[in-house]
Amino acid sequence: MSTHHLVPTVWHNVLGSMPVALRIESGDTVLTQTLDAIGDDKDGISRAHGPNPMNGPVYIEGAEPGDSLRVEILEMRPIRERGWTRAALAGNVVDPERVRSLPPRDRTEWLIDAEAGTVRLESPPPLLDYLSLPFEPMIGCFGVAPSLGQAFSTATSAENGGNMDYRGFGPGTTAWFPVFVEGALFFLGDCHAVQGDGEIVGTGVETPMEVTVRLSVEKFRRHNWPRGETSDEIFTVGNARPLDQALQHATTEMLDWLTADYGLDATGASHLMGQAIRYRVGNVFDPAYTMVASLEKRFLPPRQG
Amino acid sequence: MSTHHLVPTVWHNVLGSMPVALRIESGDTVLTQTLDAIGDDKDGISRAHGPNPMNGPVYIEGAEPGDSLRVEILEMRPIRERGWTRAALAGNVVDPERVRSLPPRDRTEWLIDAEAGTVRLESPPPLLDYLSLPFEPMIGCFGVAPSLGQAFSTATSAENGGNMDYRGFGPGTTAWFPVFVEGALFFLGDCHAVQGDGEIVGTGVETPMEVTVRLSVEKFRRHNWPRGETSDEIFTVGNARPLDQALQHATTEMLDWLTADYGLDATGASHLMGQAIRYRVGNVFDPAYTMVASLEKRFLPPRQG
Amino acid sequence: MSTHHLVPTVWHNVLGSMPVALRIESGDTVLTQTLDAIGDDKDGISRAHGPNPMNGPVYIEGAEPGDSLRVEILEMRPIRERGWTRAALAGNVVDPERVRSLPPRDRTEWLIDAEAGTVRLESPPPLLDYLSLPFEPMIGCFGVAPSLGQAFSTATSAENGGNMDYRGFGPGTTAWFPVFVEGALFFLGDCHAVQGDGEIVGTGVETPMEVTVRLSVEKFRRHNWPRGETSDEIFTVGNARPLDQALQHATTEMLDWLTADYGLDATGASHLMGQAIRYRVGNVFDPAYTMVASLEKRFLPPRQG
Amino acid sequence: MSTHHLVPTVWHNVLGSMPVALRIESGDTVLTQTLDAIGDDKDGISRAHGPNPMNGPVYIEGAEPGDSLRVEILEMRPIRERGWTRAALAGNVVDPERVRSLPPRDRTEWLIDAEAGTVRLESPPPLLDYLSLPFEPMIGCFGVAPSLGQAFSTATSAENGGNMDYRGFGPGTTAWFPVFVEGALFFLGDCHAVQGDGEIVGTGVETPMEVTVRLSVEKFRRHNWPRGETSDEIFTVGNARPLDQALQHATTEMLDWLTADYGLDATGASHLMGQAIRYRVGNVFDPAYTMVASLEKRFLPPRQG
């Protein structure tokens, strides 16, 4: 179980079958520094262009279609004291006639203090000078290469992950992605110091980070959509528009999980999900929206097999 | 500020301009016992028919179109030891081709122990015999008469509230509804002992409750969609399909609230909402879906005026 | 089979169980003059307010829940030489960020010449002075009272019809509505001299008309959504958002029709629909959108029974 | 202006930046034989796998990002007497609870007689033995490589075209695609002998064809979505879910076209579109749905410049 430093020289704006940047064994750890969403590095120097340039891909030995790639997010450390956001709600998250009066989508600077655990506007308007948000780092965009030779923009998301912008993808969370190609081809980038649900201004607080993940192949663990786990819950992810359909994917994936791994039949799973499920909203800015379905572990039966 | 016991003799399957059941002063308290979603009372006797028969309407003196009706949910006490649910995920919350293999939507019994704070299946399948959910009472359907002489089924929801099935509408929460007709005409019913997000089996644990609410008119406090407040957050509610549109309504309503009452301009509100908003899913089973947008009070500026 | 002149003294902004304006026998004909969408009459005098004030309701003797009301649109005669539209695409029919640059939604006057069969802008901008559209009269809003004591705004549509704004509802077309209340309670109004699909500026060419319809009860002919027939096709109507769901309703209703009345099983109906169905778009401006599914009669098997 | 015979040896299941199969001058004609949707050729021999294997890509000299590729569909000739369909409505086009009772999606054979101009079931169920549909050939899937190195499955569609399944893409129609990469990289396949709107059984009558197209570069003619023209109309295409969003794209694209090429301002374009637009439904089976917006040429102002 070795640790690899992935120092990219090229970045990718798609998740697809791109030339391998790093080849590792299952269970190895990768440490890498990301660019921000438009390709600026920790010193503010432009190294790539947007959307969301990705580090990778990482080839994990032994990964084959039908397997699952487990991604443990071990650590996220900000490497720039500044992040930025857009200054207006996106047109697609307000009532259509209200778009006429939205303000400009200017770039706005924020200050990140990981020691103090705070994220603050650099030049707050008077009424917001009090505002101090907690530093809650998350990975906006990560995932694996899709099937069939497809390659998806890092502005969107699908079965293979991508730009899901779910707050829950932070340190301590484990994610699983279905493997569609040999080696899985894992990509990572687009970190946020903090972000509201939905990424409704089109950005979180965009900033480069040093991210450490452990990547492991789970053989023959076929699933259709990304999954995740924290200390107290399990969750599934659906990516699609409208949100209704993203919710259908996440719900169906949870049904699959409960019946395959926890021994419930569809009726038992329905009882549990019906009275205990929680939904959370990932990205509602991008071409595909993201809905998360979660269950607290305290309500789950013991895992089978 | 007196307390009224509302003992219905008729129940309504719409929220509309129905004959007044009780007339009160603004600030008065109303205590009433609801039926369950199909009209059975605390003794299991059928007193009305579904969907979701409502107690009311309550006419609040002084309420006029353009005002807001504040509804403080003071107490919810279960008055039957049994509730019921449906036993299968609804067809509209899973991937369409998966509907073919969903189990039957049988009625299933649950036992409610408010003392112990638990809700349990009466005859759990073996693997779910451990399952004990917390008693988390909530009002599934409440609201006021809509405008223009409209009358909406209690199976759905709109600007005037209705069957939102949001878990957050429990004791300690305050809700506000826009007033569309003289007297506001408040309705209430369809309580749940516990419910997962989305009401994805088509029910929570359906049971009659004794509910106590305080109803107050806030003059000239015009708003478009239901709002709410708990000890630590404020929230807005959008009801529509698809969820994308419900989210647009809730988001726009929060933008309105922040700019009207908290002194922010659209840019300041965008900063706050963009990095701090939380979305929660109410009903995704009924004709209109429900999305809630919330902000923690600790992130809000002081309220103006 | 007599003919009744319905001369309204009140108009309704909902389809619901309102006081009966006229009581007729099944098979009788009704002739009535409508107001325009904001309530102006043939002389431009305001007689009621919008949205879409309705003539009616007409009580048809013998109509009971579970029956169908057949509405033959016999004649539509314009009774004002002027109509009006809005001058800008609605915010919900263009890409959200494009709403920022839409022009104002000003009222614009049109001249209707039924003799010549033309509809023209009164003061066309230079490049549109050539534009002469055909006079293609249609009923924007008609239908029956919904179930359960519900009452729906004439700005929207549902199982009971309403503001569907489908171009096909013109002279020569027969429509059927499911009957939900005794007497059916038929309403009619909101006529257009011409209209594009979708009513995407929020109006057709709005103008009062003299409309003649024959209303007949078809006993025990239960259906769920409006249906229609012209000389060469049959069609079904779904009203909902998103359009995907309206399409599901219209498609399911056609499946029902083919299996119930034409003797096809679900496989045969699938073959026919799959390779021959045509979809058309009604309203995409209002709270519920309208999708029409049609089949040419030349492809249909002989009607059974 | 020469004619090229494109005889593929490999086929592609994505539209992307794949190795060039043929390099031509702008204005040249290409004649090629397609496989059917699952990769069977004119003799029923499996030559590739689904979904929708594509011939191409064709590199057109001089095509650069920001240009438009004009595709004139000159001829479509069936080269197999048999086609096939699926035997059941797709789960996503009927009301969700109705999916439970849909029949199996069996493969069904059809006979194509291009001379007689008919398409008939090989073994019709008794009540459908009369059914003879007109031979109306169309290209289900065609388009160009997308931007950024993306590659999209031929099961879906986007700005670059793809699996739109619009009946209007037959002989005599001209299509335009935005050029995103050098050479445009044109793909073509998935022909249908006839198809209903929406491709609601998941197929048209799938069959190989010999297709002749003329491909020409229009320099600096930037547009965002596919466009088309027939003898009597112009049209635009939006590909997305829900249909509401596909409609927004198609409507916005038509607004762009009218203002850029026909000299109308947004108000004039709104008048014309509002009262004369027609919408048609392409695919509603695939991940992205397709909506077409069209205007009859007789209503258009003279083209500028």
Same domain, A197 and A246: no
Quote the CA–CA distance of B254 and D29 in Å, as a whole number: 57
pLDDT tens digits for range A68-88: 999 999 999 999 999 999 999
| Number of separate domains in chain D | 2
Does the residue A249 lie in any domain?
Answer: yes
Pairing state between β A107-113 and A138-144 = unpaired
- In this prediction, residue B305 carries a pLDDT of 64
Query: How many other C-beta atoms are found inside a 10 Å radius of the C-beta of residue B107?
Result: 11
Residue C236 lies in a domain: yes
A110 and A199 in a single domain? The answer is no
Q: In chain D, whose CA is at the least distance from the CA of B93?
A: D96
* Chains within contact range of chain B (3+ C-beta pairs < 8 Å): A, C, D
B49 and B165 together in one domain: yes
User: Which of D100, D267, D275 to probe the C interface (max C CBs under 10 A)?
Assistant: D275
Instruction: State which of D218, D244, D277 marks the end of a domain.
Output: D218
> Are B38 and B154 within one domain?
yes
Q: Could you tell me if residue C305 is inside a domain?
A: no
Of A163, A195, A218, the one marking the end of a domain is A218
User: DSSP code of C251?
Assistant: H
DSSP secondary structure code for residue D252 in this structure: H
Could you give the CA distance from residue A162 to residue A168 in angstroms, rounded to a whole number? Answer: 14
Task: Enumerate the residues of chain D whose CB falls inside 8 A of the CB of residue C119.
Answer: 275
D200·C86 Cβ contact <8 A: no
Establish whether the linkage from the previous residue to A78 is cis, with ω within 30° of 0. no
Residue range D220-226: average pLDDT? 97
Nearest to A100 among C92, C99, C242 (CB): C99
Instruction: Give the domain CATH number at D46.
Output: 2.60.120.580
Asked if D146 and D171 sit in the same domain, the reply is yes
Beta pairing class for C278-281 and C233-240: unpaired
State whether C252 and D94 contact (CB < 8 Å): yes
Residues B65 and B176 in one domain: yes
Note whether C145 and C63 are same-domain residues: yes
Same domain, yes or no: B34 and B160:
yes
> Is the same domain home to A295 and A237?
yes
Residue A305 has pLDDT above 70, yes or no: no
The helix (run of H) or strand (run of E) holding residue D164 is none
Helix (H, G, I), strand (E, B) or coil at D133: strand
Tens-level pLDDT at each residue, chain B (305 residues):
799 999 999 999 999 999 999 999 999 999 999 999 999 999 999 999 999 999 999 999 999 999 999 999 999 999 999 999 999 999 999 999 999 999 999 999 999 999 999 999 999 987 999 999 999 999 999 999 999 999 999 999 999 999 999 999 999 999 999 999 999 999 999 999 999 999 999 999 999 999 999 999 999 999 999 999 999 999 999 999 999 999 999 999 999 999 999 999 999 999 999 999 999 999 999 999 999 999 999 999 988 86
Provide the pLDDT for residue D14.
98
By DSSP bridging, strand B161-163 and strand B138-144 are antiparallel
Cα D194 to Cα C233, D97, D137, D202, distances in angstroms: 19, 29, 6, 13
Closest CA to A227 of A136, A143, A299: A143
D166 CB-contact burial (10 Å; exposed 0-12 / middle 13-18 / buried 19+) = buried
Q: Are C150 and C199 in contact (CB under 8 A)?
A: no
CATH code where residue B252 lies: 3.10.28.20
- pLDDT, tens only, C170-224: 999 999 999 999 999 999 999 999 999 999 999 999 999 999 999 999 999 999 9
A72 with A10, same domain: the answer is yes
Residue type, A74: L
User: For residue B102, is it within any domain?
Assistant: no
How close, in Å, is residue B200 to chain A by CA atoms? 5
The shortest C-alpha distance from A122 to chain C (Å) reads: 27
Find the DSSP H helices in chain A.
Answer: 243-261, 266-276
Position C126 in a domain = yes
The residues, any chain, with a CB within 8 Å of residue C19's CB and separated by 6 or more, are none
pLDDT given at position A125: 87
Same-domain pairing of B164 and B238: no
At A198-212, the pLDDT tens digits run 999 999 999 999 999
Closest of D24, D55, D34 to residue D206, by C-alpha = D34
Q: Which residues of D touch B242 (CB under 8 A)?
A: 242
Q: DSSP class of residue B52? A: -
Could you give the 3-state DSSP secondary structure of residue B217?
A: strand
Amino acid at C232: D
Q: What is the pLDDT of residue B282?
A: 98
Distance CA D244, CA C90 (A): 13
Residue B154, burial from CB neighbour count under 10 angstroms (0-12, 13-18, 19+): buried
- Mean pLDDT across chain D: 97
Å from B128 to nearest chain A CA?
A: 7
Q: Distance, in angstroms, between B140 CA and closest chain A CA?
A: 13
Q: Is 80 exceeded by the pLDDT of residue C17?
A: yes
Q: What per-residue string of b and e applies to B277-305 under the rule 16 or more CB within 10 Å gives b? A: bbbbbbbbbbbbbbbbbbbeeebbbeeee
CA distances to B42, B137, B191, C177 from B83, in Å:
10, 12, 10, 38
Using CB atoms, list chains with 3+ pairs below 8 Å to chain C: A, B, D
CA distance D145 to A16: 15
Q: Residue B193: its pLDDT value, please?
A: 98
Q: Do C14 and B150 touch (CB under 8 A)?
A: yes
Respond yes or no on whether ipTM tops 0.85: yes
Q: Looking at beta carbons, which residues of chain C come within 8 Å of B245?
A: 241
Whole-number Cα distances in Å, D239 to A248, D11, D56, D89, D282: 21, 23, 22, 21, 9
B151: nearest CB among C12, C16, C245: C16
pLDDT band of D305, cuts 50, 70, 90: low
- CA C266 to chain D, closest CA, distance in angstroms equals 7
Instruction: Read off φ and ψ for residue B72, nearest 5 degrees.
Output: -90, 120
In a domain, D57, yes or no: yes
A166 neighbors A220 (Cβ within 8 angstroms) = no
**Same domain membership, residue D289 and residue D179:** no
D contact chains, 3+ CB pairs < 8 A: A, B, C
Region D137-148: what's the mean pLDDT? 97
In a domain, D165, yes or no: yes
Summarize pLDDT for A32-76 with one digit per residue, the tens: 999 999 999 999 999 999 999 999 999 999 999 999 999 999 999
Mean pLDDT across the stretch A97-103? 96
Pure H helices in C139-242: none
Tell whether pTM > 0.90. yes
Domain that holds residue B247: 227-299
Amino acid of residue B100: R
Q: Which of C103, C134, C165 is the last residue of a domain?
A: C134
SS3 B249: helix
pLDDT of residue B257: 98
Q: Is residue A145 part of a domain?
A: yes
Under DSSP, is residue C156 helix (H, G, I), strand (E, B) or coil?
Answer: coil
